[in-house]
Chains A and B, each alone.
Chain A
Amino acid sequence: MFNEGLKMKTFRKFAVMGISALATPLLLAAQAPGFRHAPPDAAAAAAPRTLAPYFTPATSRSKAPDADGFLQRWMLLEPIVKPNRTNIVFTGTYVRSAFNAPYFPDQFTVLPHNGDKVTVGGQELAWHALDSTGFNVKLFRFAYGLNKPTYGVLFWAVTIVNSPREMKNVRLAAGSNSASMWWLNGEDVADLFDDRRMVMDDVVSRPLTLNKGRNVLRGAVINGPGMSDFCVRFVDANENPIKDVTLSLP
C-alpha cells in the first residue's frame, strides 16, 4: 500500500465527497487531497512577457489572408476589465448588452491607429496593430504578453478588408472563445453566444456583400475564466476560403 496514513485521509476524503455531492462540484475540487491547484512555476511566471511568438507588429502596407483564408491582421484594444467567474452567463441577451454598453467614444465606428488610447473605467487602454502568426488570434496571449488582465475581459478588434471587386454571396465564418459578435461595415453579421470555445467555421453568417475597396470588419470578444481566442475568414458560396482580399489598417 502506498501510505498507511492514507486510510484516515481516505475516510475524510469520502466524507467530504459525500457532502460535496449535495453542494457544488467545485467544493469537491477545492477540498479533495492532491486536488489543490498549484501555483505556476516561479521561473516561468517571472519570465519577461512578450507578444512573440503569437504576434508580430503589423508594419507592412497590407497583408493577405493565410493559406486557408484566415484574417491575421488586426487592431486590438487592450482588454477591458469585465469580471465574470463563469462563462455560463453569456446568453445572447447578456452579450448584446455587454457589447452595447458604452466603453469609449465611437466604439462601433472608430478606426484606430497603432498606439491610440482610450480610457475605460479609469484604465487607459491602447490599440495595437498586430499580425497573428497563426490562423487564430490568441487574445489571451495578447493580454498576457502586455501584462494586462487575462480573465474576466472584453476585447475589441478592427481590421480593414480591401476587396478588388464587389463580391456577393460571401459569408463570414467565425469561431471564438468565448462569446463574440462581428460587424461588417456597421452591420451585425455573426453572433457567437453561450460558453463556447474557438472552433473554425463555427458560426457562419448569412450571404453578405464585400464592397469593392474598403470594408470595415469589427469584432468584440468576451470571456470569464477561459483562454480568449478567435478566428475569422470569409468563404464563398461553395464554402471555399476567399483569399484574394487584403487586410490593412485604418
Chain B
Amino acid sequence: MKPNPLALAFFALLPVFACGSAWSQLAGEPYIHDPSTVIQSDGKYYTFGTGGGGLISDDGYTWHSGAVRPGGGVAPDVIHIGDRYYVAYAVGGGGMSGGHASKVKVMWNKTLDPKSPDFQFHDVGVVASSNGVEDCDAIDPAFLYVKGHLWLSYGTYFGFIRMVELDPRTGKRLAGNKPVNVAIDMEATDLLYRDGWYYLLGTHGTCCDGANSTYNIRVGRSRNPTGPYVDNIGIPLLRGGGKLVAAASGRHIGLGHFGLLNLGDGVELFSMHYEADLDRGGRSVLDIRPLLWKDGWPVGGDHFEPGTYEIQSERSGGALELAVDFVRMNNGRRRGWGPPTGPVTPIPNQTLAQDSEKWPAGNIAVDINDYMVRPHQLWTITPVENAGGYPGAPYFKIAIAGTDRALAAAADGEVVAVPDFTGAPEQLWRIDELIDGTYRIMPKAVPNSAAPAALTAIGASTPTLTQFDPKSDKAKWSFHKP
C-alpha cells in the first residue's frame, strides 16, 4: 500500500502538535473550532466541532481528541432529551462573497461514547435550510429545550438569525412551523432560559482571522422564545443590539460559540473557543470559564487568577487563618493625635519571620478572624500541575504565603494546615466561582469519606467541611488581594 502523503505529513508534524507551549487554562489538546455545547455522556464530557469529530474529557479540564461525529459540516450543537442525544450541524453554507445555500441536519444517538455498543447515529434529516438567495444562511444551529418545546436557532452574518421549533420526541421540524427572524449581525447563536426570560446569545465581530479576529459574545433577551429580543438598553437584536458577555482578554483573542454547562448548586460555566490562544501558537482552542448572572444578564467570568489572597467568609466577613497566637506589631501607637512633629516614616508590614516564630511545627488548626493583613492570614493559591482538575480548571494548592504550609482536609472532616504540601488529594482544592461572583471551595477528597464537602463557616469564626448549601452565605467565600 502506498504511503498516504497526508498521513506522512501529519505524523511528521505530530511532535509539533504534541509538545506543550506556555501554560494555558485547559490541559491536554483542546484544539477545536466552533465547539458545540459541552455535554456529559457515560461519565465523560464531550464537545463536537467544525469538520467532524471533537474532544473528550474525563474531568472537563484535560481534553483530547476522540469524539466521533459523522457528517462533516460546521458548528454543531448537542442536547440530551430523554434517552437521546440530538446533534445538529450544517452543511453547505457559511461562505463569503456567496456560498449561503445551507442545510441544518439533525441526528441522534443513545450515547456519545464511541466505544459503547449502543453508539449508533440515526439520521433525522434536514430541519432548516437556506436557498443561497434569501436573507439567511442556515449554519450554526443551537438547541434549547424548555417547557416541553425544542427550539433551534441558526444563521450567520448573511441576513437574519432565525428560530424554528422541532419535535423533542423525534428531532424533526414541527409540521407547519415557519422560521422567525430574531437577530442580525451575529453567528454561533446559543439559547438560554432563566427566570421567565429567553436569552439569545450570539457571536459578533469577525471570525477566522487568528489574532486579529474581533469575535465577541453578546446577548439579548425576550419573554417570548421567538422574540423580540432586546439588549440591556433596549436596542433590538434585529437592529444590531447585544450586551457584551465576553470578549478578548489577556492572551485569548476572538471569543465565540458560547455554550452553557450548568453544574447545578449555583455553578454555571460557559464553553467557547478562542480564535487565537496566543500561548498555543494562535490556534483555535476550547475553553470553559465561569458564568455569572448580574441583574438578570449573563456575564462571562474569568479563570481564577493564581496569587496571594485573603480568603474571606461571606458569612461573617472574617478571614481564613492559621489558629495561632496573635503577634503584636511594634509601634503604631503614639501619645495624642496631633500632626507629626518630625519626619513621617512608613511602618513595614509584619514579616513572616516575626509572625511565625512560635508556630507549631506540625498541623495547625484553621479558624476565621478579623483580617489584619498578617502573614498567617495570607494564602498563596497556585495551580497544581499533573493533578487533574474539574470542568474548566485545575486543582489548586492553598498555602500560607512564603511557606509550604498547606490547607488540607482532615480525617475528621475538619480543616487544617499541614506543614508541607505533598500533593495528596486532601491538599488539592477545587475553586468554583458561583453565579453571584462568590466562590465555593472544595477539597478533591476528604480522608475516609466519599461525600463531597465544601469549606463552610459553620460558625462566625469556625470553618469546617460539610455538604454545600447553595442558598447560604456560610459556604461562600471571596478572595481579596492583601
Residue numbers of A with Cβ under 8 A of B are 1-3, 6, 10-19, 21-22, 25-26, 28-29, 32-41, 43-45, 47, 85-88, 135-136, 151-152, 175, 194-195, 197-202, 224-227, 231
Which are the 8 A-B pairs with shortest beta-carbon distances?
Answer: A34-B72, A40-B132, A37-B99, A199-B240, A38-B92, A32-B51, A41-B131, A15-B10
Instruction: Please tell me if the beta carbons of B101 and A39 are within 8 angstroms of each other in the complex.
Output: yes
For residue B129, which residue of chain A has the nearest CB?
A41
Residue in A15, A19, A38 whose beta carbon sits within 8 Å of that of B93 in the complex? A38
Least Cβ–Cβ distance between B124 and chain A, in angstroms: 12
Least Cβ–Cβ distance between A200 and chain B, in angstroms: 4
Which one, B190-198, B205-213, B263-271, B448-456, is touching chain A? B205-213
Interface residues of B in 196-229 (CB under 8 A from A): 204, 206, 208-210, 212, 214
Least Cβ–Cβ distance between B401 and chain A, in angstroms: 40
Q: Can you list, as one digit per residue, whether each of B296-339 has a CB less than 8 Å from chain A (1) or not (0)?
A: 00000000000000000000000000000000000000000000
- The yes or no answer to B73 lying at the interface (CB within 8 A) is yes
Instruction: Please tell me if the beta carbons of A44 and B206 are within 8 angstroms of each other in the complex.
Output: no
Q: Which residues of A contact B133 (CB under 8 A)?
A: 40-41, 44-45, 47
For residue B109, which residue of chain A has the nearest CB?
A2
Q: Which residues of A contact B184 (CB under 8 A)?
A: 197-198
Q: Which residues of B contact A3 (CB under 8 A)?
A: 70
Instruction: Please tell me if the beta carbons of B72 and A197 are within 8 angstroms of each other in the complex.
Output: no
A38 in contact with B101 given A6-B70, A45-B132 (CB within 8 Å): yes
Instruction: Please tell me if the beta carbons of B97 and A227 are within 8 angstroms of each other in the complex.
Output: no
Q: Which residues of B contact A44 (CB under 8 A)?
A: 131-134
- The yes or no answer to B447 lying at the interface (CB within 8 A) is no
Q: Tell me which of B96, B98, B204, B210 has the highest count of chain A C-beta atoms within 10 A of its own C-beta.
A: B96
Sample 14 A-B pairs with CB under 8 A, ordered by A number: A1-B68, A2-B121, A10-B68, A15-B4, A25-B209, A37-B92, A37-B101, A38-B132, A40-B98, A85-B96, A88-B206, A152-B97, A194-B214, A200-B235
- The yes or no answer to B292 lying at the interface (CB within 8 A) is no
For residue B121, which residue of chain A has the nearest CB?
A2
Q: Which residues of B contact A13 (CB under 8 A)?
A: 51-53, 72
Instruction: Please tell me if the beta carbons of B240 and A202 are within 8 angstroms of each other in the complex.
Output: yes
Number of interface residues of B (CB under 8 A): 62
Instruction: Please tell me if the beta carbons of A14 and B283 are within 8 angstroms of each other in the complex.
Output: no
A26 in contact with B208 given A13-B52, A34-B72, A227-B158 (CB within 8 Å): yes
How many A-B contacts if CB must be within 8 Å? 159
**Cα-based distance from A15 to B391 in the complex (angstroms):** 28
- The yes or no answer to B95 lying at the interface (CB within 8 A) is yes
Q: Which residues of A contact B17 (CB under 8 A)?
A: 18, 21
Residue in B13, B68, B96, B185 whose beta carbon sits within 8 Å of that of A197 in the complex? B185
Interface residues of B in 388-414 (CB under 8 A from A): none
Least Cβ–Cβ distance between B184 and chain A, in angstroms: 7
Instruction: Please tell me if the beta carbons of A14 and B65 are within 8 angstroms of each other in the complex.
Output: yes
Q: Which residues of B contact A16 (CB under 8 A)?
A: 6
- The yes or no answer to B425 lying at the interface (CB within 8 A) is no
**Cα-based distance from A87 to B283 in the complex (angstroms):** 22
**Cα-based distance from A22 to B185 in the complex (angstroms):** 29
- The yes or no answer to B291 lying at the interface (CB within 8 A) is no
**Cα-based distance from A47 to B52 in the complex (angstroms):** 35
Q: Tell me which of B4, B14, B107, B239 has the highest count of chain A C-beta atoms within 10 A of its own C-beta.
A: B239
A18 in contact with B13 given A44-B133, A227-B157 (CB within 8 Å): yes
For residue B186, which residue of chain A has the nearest CB?
A197
**Cα-based distance from A30 to B24 in the complex (angstroms):** 29
Residue in A17, A33, A40 whose beta carbon sits within 8 Å of that of B101 in the complex? A40
Instruction: Please tell me if the beta carbons of B239 and A14 are within 8 angstroms of each other in the complex.
Output: no
- The yes or no answer to B289 lying at the interface (CB within 8 A) is no
Instruction: Please tell me if the beta carbons of A200 and B240 are within 8 angstroms of each other in the complex.
Output: yes
Interface residues of B in 455-481 (CB under 8 A from A): none
A34 in contact with B235 given A25-B33, A41-B131 (CB within 8 Å): no
For residue A223, which residue of chain B has the nearest CB?
B97
Q: Which residues of B contact A36 (CB under 8 A)?
A: 92
Q: Which residues of A contact B240 (CB under 8 A)?
A: 175, 197-200, 202
A225 in contact with B96 given A19-B9, A34-B71, A197-B157 (CB within 8 Å): yes
**Cα-based distance from A199 to B184 in the complex (angstroms):** 9
Given contacts A2-B71, A32-B50, A35-B72, 7 further A-B contacts (CB under 8 A): A18-B17, A33-B72, A38-B93, A38-B99, A40-B101, A136-B239, A198-B240
Least Cβ–Cβ distance between B244 and chain A, in angstroms: 13
Q: Can you list, as one digit per residue, whether each of B1-38 has a CB less than 8 Å from chain A (1) or not (0)?
A: 00010110110011011000000000000010100000
A88 in contact with B72 given A40-B100, A200-B239 (CB within 8 Å): no
- The yes or no answer to B91 lying at the interface (CB within 8 A) is yes
Least Cβ–Cβ distance between A14 and chain B, in angstroms: 7
Q: Which residues of B contact A10 (CB under 8 A)?
A: 52-53, 68
**Cα-based distance from A55 to B190 in the complex (angstroms):** 32
Q: Can you list, as one digit per residue, whether each of B99-137 has a CB less than 8 Å from chain A (1) or not (0)?
A: 111110001000000000001110100000001111000
